[in-house]
Amino acid sequence: MRVPRFPEMTPMAHVLTAIGRLAQRTDGQDLIEYGLLAALIAIVAMVGVTTLGGTIYNVFWRAIGQAAL
**Is 5 contained in some domain?**
no
- Residue 29: half-sphere exposure toward Cβ, Cα within 13 Å: 6
The pTM is what?
0.47
Of 19 and 1, which is predicted with more confidence? 19
User: How confident is the model over 33-62, as pLDDT tens digits?
Assistant: 898 999 999 999 999 999 899 899 999 999
- Phi, psi for 17 (deg, rounded to 5): -65, -45
**Is 42 contained in some domain?**
yes
Count up the domains in the chain and report the number: 1
Q: Average of pLDDT values for 19-34?
A: 76
Vertex 54, ends 48 and 60: CA angle to 5°?
125
**Is 8 contained in some domain?**
no
CA atoms of 31 and 24, how far apart (whole Å): 15
**Is 37 contained in some domain?**
yes
- Asked if pLDDT for residue 27 goes beyond 80, the answer is no
Residue 51 structural domain:
30-69
Query: Residue 36's pLDDT is what?
Result: 92
Contact predicate 56/62, CB 8 Å: no
Query: What is the rounded end-to-end Cα distance, in angstroms, of the chain?
Result: 98
